[in-house]
Amino acid sequence: MILALVLILIAASLALATIGNRLLTRNVMAEASLQANSALRLATSALSGHLSRYETLPALIADHEDMKELILDPDNPALRRAANLYLKEINTLLESSDIYVMTMDGNTIAASNFDGVASFVGENFIYRPYFYEAAAGKQARFYALGTTSAKRGYYFSAPIEVDGTVRGVIAFKVDIEGIETSWRGGEYKILVHDPEGIIFMTGNPEWLYASVLPLTPERLERTTASRRYSDAVLRELPIKRSALDDHVLMTVNQGAGSREYLVLEQYMPDADWTVKVLFDTGTIHAQARTMLVAILLFLCLFGLGLAVVIQRRARLQERMHMQIEAQAELERRVEERTADLARVNLQLRQTQADLIQAGKLAGLGQMSAALSHEFNQPLAAAKTYADSATMLIDRDRISEARDNLGRISNLIDRMASISRHLRNFARKPNEKLSAISIEEVVEETLEIVSARLGTADATLSLNFEPGLPPVQGGSVRLQQVLVNILTNACDAVEGLDDRAIELSARRDNGRVVIEIVDRGPGVPPAIMERIFDPFFTTKGVGKGLGLGLSISYNIIKDFGGSLTVREREGGGALFRIDLLEAEALHEAAE
């Protein structure tokens, strides 16, 4: 009888342990699934946020004037050099992997890594989906192992359009290996695979380029056609799938042993990726066994054990609820920040061109009184000559009347010349960089500022070194720079005893240096570093937008030169413009 009771108790204990182990395993797995789901959402949000930083940038850079000029003249060494340097600067600023420009036949003509060992310049990527989709006028995405760099990356591309026609393609390559590094050594194993099941990112290097799906001939053919993984060796990951309730399990054979994982996944439609989070079920089973032993012990002290279990479950539920709320708040903030950045980028693009034009028109507005005087004088003189010519004709002094009519014609030509220069100056320039003459630009500039020099009662002396070579730039934009600086010089000397202004030009080691000197109050050291900042001005309200010098600085920078200012010895300001000689730039490119 006692033996039978003991056997019954043993059998009941074993049955209770078995049932309890199953129940506890399900419970712990459910908890682990919730935590793994949080990790999955965090990983997906991090990937999506990292990629979304670059999504709109290809179209923005494709609209840059340098890119359009290069794609129209891809064999121009100067345009290639300027584009390479610009792409390298942007690539460094954005912390992307590579940026490169391709013609419609897939040849790369400019790249941020043009001076690197694995330069993309000269490579052809016509076989890449991101190329032919952008060539068709679409913005495209693609992820692959680089055939030239042998580095994995995510690619964004956009068409380069000129007058509504696609003339080329620009592509961004975004590094993803930094995110992958953060996955290593963590509680969860995170991997990303493509629609064919091939693992593209993983914290476990041994799984890279292995497939979680059978490598059928159709899948291999699609993968090979895109050259997504270059020469990487593809293989199937030895796995066996199973399930516990609604939880997906996956057993991976590793060497002589195997390991089972709880699997959660989420598809990223924009990237065409599937993100999987794997949690080792060995930890789950160990935790379940530990809980089972604890419960069996708690049964001996039923009251205390029950209280402990209830308290534990309450804490677990609270923690999971807090995690879900924190994740929801984080996602909301990420979405708001992304929307703000997209809106600011659009506003900056829309206002950039308007600010430059506003600076020129503001300068013309400030000179309006002087320009009115410049037109009124010839008009008054023309009327006097016309009245005199009428009297001379009445007196049959035809020769003298003809002289008066010639003077009237000269005055009209003078006013037409001033009007033409003002019209050319006020329009929005659409000129390419070319070889321009300093003397001709200065001559046209004087047509515009002569009226302001007159109202300021200032004298302008010119001192040009003989035989100055042409420089690299644009005539209208260089006029804008000289008009801004000379107008500021007139403002500085107006009302002073010494109202002399000097403009000189000379050669200096492959460059042409233009210096404009006035004898005004100069530039105080306290504002020297801020004088080229947008909207910074020392003038009163209504006397300037604070854009002139900022626009001038960036125009000269676009020419490949520099604009600086310093105090003149003896008082006043000295503005120095350094420009590349056109011949020197051509020789350097060759």
State both tokens at 95. Answer: 């912390």
| Whether residues 437 and 417 fall in one domain | no
pLDDT digits (tens, 9 = 90+) for 161-185: 999 999 999 999 988 877 878 788 7
Mean pLDDT on 89-107: 93
| Whether residues 408 and 441 fall in one domain | no
| Whether residues 121 and 232 fall in one domain | yes
**Alpha helix (H) ranges present in 95-213?**
129-135, 177-182
| Whether residues 203 and 272 fall in one domain | yes
pLDDT at residue 157 tops 50: yes
Length of the chain, please? 590
pLDDT band at residue 432 under the 50/70/90 scheme: confident
The per-residue pLDDT for 365 is: 57
Helix (H, G, I), strand (E, B) or coil at 115: coil
| Whether residues 183 and 294 fall in one domain | yes
Q: How many C-beta atoms lie closer than 10 Å to residue 478's C-beta?
A: 25
Weakest mean pLDDT among 291-305, 416-430, 507-521: 416-430
Would you say residue 341 lies in a domain?
no
| Whether residues 420 and 538 fall in one domain | no
Q: What is the DSSP string of 32-51?
A: HHHHHHHHHHHHHHHHHHHH
pLDDT at residue 428 tops 60: no
Helix (H, G, I), strand (E, B) or coil at 394: helix
Cα 97 → chain centroid: 12
Q: How far apart are CA 579 and CA 511, in angstroms?
A: 5
| Whether residues 375 and 480 fall in one domain | no
Would you say residue 212 lies in a domain?
yes
Q: How far apart are CA 445 and CA 436, in angstroms?
A: 14
Q: How far apart are CA 163 and CA 168, in angstroms?
A: 13
CA-CA-CA-CA torsion sign (260, 268, 209, 53): negative
Beta carbons of 127 and 71 less than 8 angstroms apart: no
Beta carbons of 505 and 468 less than 8 angstroms apart: yes
| Enclosing H/E stretch for 148 | none
The gap between the terminal CA atoms of the chain, to the nearest Å, is: 107
CATH of the domain at 158: 3.30.450.20
How big is the CA angle at 431 (ends 429 and 433), to the nearest 5 degrees? 135
Query: In one letter, which amino acid is 330?
Result: L
Q: Of the candidates 248, 267, 300, which is a domain's last residue?
A: 300
Closest CA to 137 of 156, 155, 157, 159: 159
State both tokens at 65. Answer: 């004037």
Weakest mean pLDDT among 73-87, 239-253, 278-292: 278-292
Query: Which residues are 108's β-sheet partners?
Result: 102
CATH of the domain at 525: 3.30.565.10
Q: β-strands 210-211, 235-236: how paired? A: parallel
| Enclosing H/E stretch for 156 | strand 152-162
Residue 47 has phi, psi (to 5 degrees) of -65, -45
Closest CA to 461 of 431, 499, 503: 503
Number of domains in the chain: 3
pLDDT digits (tens, 9 = 90+) for 546-587: 677 888 899 999 999 999 999 988 889 999 999 999 875 444
The per-residue pLDDT for 422 is: 56
Beta carbons of 82 and 72 less than 8 angstroms apart: no
pLDDT digits (tens, 9 = 90+) for 499-526: 999 999 999 999 999 999 999 988 888 7
Would you say residue 331 lies in a domain?
no
Would you say residue 550 lies in a domain?
yes
The per-residue pLDDT for 410 is: 64
The per-residue pLDDT for 161 is: 94
Q: What is the pTM of this model?
A: 0.45
Helix (H, G, I), strand (E, B) or coil at 563: strand
Q: What is the DSSP string of 291-353?
A: HHHHHHHHHHTHHHHHHHHHHHHHHHHHHHHHHHHHHHHHHHHHHHHHHHHHHHHHHHHHHHH
Cα 45 → chain centroid: 21
Mean pLDDT on 32-56: 86
Query: In one letter, which amino acid is 427?
Result: R
The per-residue pLDDT for 586 is: 47
Q: How far apart are CA 494 and CA 486, in angstroms?
A: 12
Q: β-strands 235-236, 471-473: how paired? A: unpaired
What range defines the domain where residue 538 resides? 432-589
Q: How far apart are CA 155 and CA 272, in angstroms?
A: 12
| Whether residues 376 and 456 fall in one domain | no
| Whether residues 218 and 114 fall in one domain | yes
Q: How far apart are CA 160 and CA 60, in angstroms?
A: 10
- Specify the long-range contacts of residues 66-72, CB closer than 8 Å, at least 24 apart: 67/101, 67/160, 67/168, 67/170, 68/160, 68/162, 68/167, 69/432, 70/101, 70/109, 70/110, 71/101, 71/103, 71/109, 71/160, 71/162, 71/167, 71/168, 72/162, 72/167
Residue 242 has phi, psi (to 5 degrees) of -155, -175
CA-CA-CA-CA torsion sign (280, 281, 284, 290): negative
The per-residue pLDDT for 542 is: 47
The per-residue pLDDT for 397 is: 85
**Alpha helix (H) ranges present in 367-458?**
368-394, 398-426, 438-455
Would you say residue 346 lies in a domain?
no
Beta carbons of 489 and 519 less than 8 angstroms apart: no
Helix (H, G, I), strand (E, B) or coil at 189: strand
b or e along 260-280 (b: 16 or more beta carbons within 10 Å of the residue's beta carbon)?
bbbbbbeeeeebebbbbbbbb
Q: Of the candidates 388, 408, 427, which is a domain's last residue?
A: 427
Would you say residue 189 lies in a domain?
yes
| Whether residues 481 and 454 fall in one domain | yes
Q: How far apart are CA 350 and CA 63, in angstroms?
A: 12
Summary mean pLDDT of the chain: 82
Would you say residue 47 lies in a domain?
yes
Residue 472 has phi, psi (to 5 degrees) of -90, 120
pLDDT band at residue 590 under the 50/70/90 scheme: very low
| Whether residues 395 and 493 fall in one domain | no
Q: β-strands 239-244, 235-236: how paired? A: unpaired
* Tokens 């993309």 -> residue: 120
Cα 321 → chain centroid: 39
Q: How far apart are CA 241 and CA 197, in angstroms?
A: 14
pLDDT band at residue 360 under the 50/70/90 scheme: low
pLDDT at residue 313 tops 70: yes
Cα 76 → chain centroid: 24
Considering only residues 479 and 406, tell me which one the structure prediction assigns the higher pLDDT: 479
Would you say residue 585 lies in a domain?
yes
Give the HSE-up count for residue 117: Cα atoms under 13 Å, Cβ half-sphere: 2
The per-residue pLDDT for 288 is: 72
pLDDT at residue 24 tops 60: yes
The per-residue pLDDT for 541 is: 45
| Whether residues 476 and 417 fall in one domain | no
Q: Of the candidates 259, 278, 300, which is a domain's last residue?
A: 300
